[in-house]
């Protein structure tokens, strides 16, 4: 399958999870990665700066009407939903919270399905609520590929457990394997999972 984007959702414990995933991607990584990490509305952007400093690909905060580029990670800004438009640009919204969150993982995942159809890989990582479960189920229903962090390796296991219950993901694996699997899918290495 020719996947064109990775969307990732995470909450409690997300920074520690992402710092084990993003540095594994090589500089020429061929698709964009869009992430919703639940953060405080007062977040100062330290996490993005830190992840950018340890990664070979660019890590940045998403901007309104920004075009998606390969080898780039886009994070939802604090207190904004992040959506992918039909023309594969990004948009920001201050619509009401979804699953008590803004940004919401479900909002990102659902918009990605409209923009990319089955050409998506959706990933749910550690988190202490149920955001992302419905969106991941919609990615799976559209024919995309779905990965969930195994709950036993999550800092907070509610999000992975809910995602597993609602969507029957294609792959449930430990955190340490997620970055390697994603890298190998796109760098055309043999992979035991797909």
Catalytically active residues, by annotation: 11, 38, 131
Phi, psi of 187 (to 5 degrees): -95, 15
Helix axes 175-186, 14-21, angle to 10 degrees: 40
Neighbours of 166 (CB within 10 A): 18
The position carrying tokens 């990582």 is: 125
Q: Which residue in 137, 94, 118, 120 sits closest to 34, CA to CA?
A: 120
CA 86 to chain centre: 18
CA 13 to chain centre: 14
Torsions phi, psi for 32 (to 5 deg): -80, 155
């Amino acid at each position: 399958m020719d996947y064109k984007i990775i969307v990732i959702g995470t909450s409690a414990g997300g920074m520690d999870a992402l710092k084990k995933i993003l540095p594994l991607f090589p500089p020429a990584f061929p698709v964009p990665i869009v992430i919703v990490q639940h953060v405080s509305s007062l977040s100062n952007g330290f996490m993005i700066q830190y992840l950018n400093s340890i990664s070979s690909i660019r890590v940045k905060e998403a901007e309104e009407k920004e075009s998606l580029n390969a080898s780039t990670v886009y994070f939802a800004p604090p207190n904004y939903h992040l959506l992918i438009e039909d023309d594969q640009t990004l948009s920001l919204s201050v619509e009401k919270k979804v699953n008590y969150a803004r940004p919401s993982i479900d909002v990102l995942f659902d918009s990605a399905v409209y923009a990319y159809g089955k050409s998506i890989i959706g990933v749910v990582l550690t988190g202490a609520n149920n955001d992302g479960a419905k969106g991941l189920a919609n990615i799976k229903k559209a024919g995309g590929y779905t990965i969930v962090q195994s709950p036993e390796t999550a800092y907070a296991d509610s999000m992975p457990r809910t995602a597993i219950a609602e969507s029957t993901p294609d792959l449930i694996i430990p955190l340490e394997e997620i970055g390697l699997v994603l890298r190998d899918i796109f760098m055309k290495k043999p992979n035991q999972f797909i």
